[in-house]
């Protein structure tokens, strides 16, 4: 019988759209996937793609640290 290695990961996916930025946070163990959080932010008022990505990163990191 083959030994099974338990691979566990937290994945942050970001869709940096032009008007709305979508995100999802997933927890995976082997082939099992659990959605921890997902949603979208209205970012069309921010100037440029980099401020949008920085805003999303800051929000996600602070939420992950609270868990």
**pLDDT tens track, the chain, 67 positions:** 455 566 899 998 988 777 888 889 999 998 899 999 999 988 777 676 677 677 777 877 777 765 5
The residues facing 16 across adjacent strands are 21
Does residue 39 lie in a domain region? yes
CB 16 within 8 A of CB 46: no
Which pLDDT score, from 0 to 100, does residue 1 have?
A: 46
CATH of the domain at 62: 3.30.420.10
Model pTM above 0.75 = no
Does residue 15 lie in a domain region? yes
Does residue 3 lie in a domain region? no
Does residue 19 lie in a domain region? yes
Which pLDDT score, from 0 to 100, does residue 20 have?
A: 84
Does residue 2 lie in a domain region? no
Please state the φ and ψ torsions of residue 53, each to the nearest 5 degrees.
Answer: -65, -40
Both tokens of residue 4?
């099974």
61: containing domain: 8-66
Does residue 1 lie in a domain region? no
Residue among 44, 66, 41 at smallest CA distance from 56: 41
């Amino acid at each position: 019988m083959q030994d099974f290695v338990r691979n566990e990961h937290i994945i942050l996916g970001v869709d940096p759209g032009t008007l709305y930025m979508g995100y999802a946070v997933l927890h995976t163990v082997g082939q099992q996937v659990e959605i921890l959080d997902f949603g979208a932010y209205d970012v069309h008022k921010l100037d440029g793609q980099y401020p949008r990505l920085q805003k999303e990163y800051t929000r996600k990191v602070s939420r992950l640290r609270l868990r």
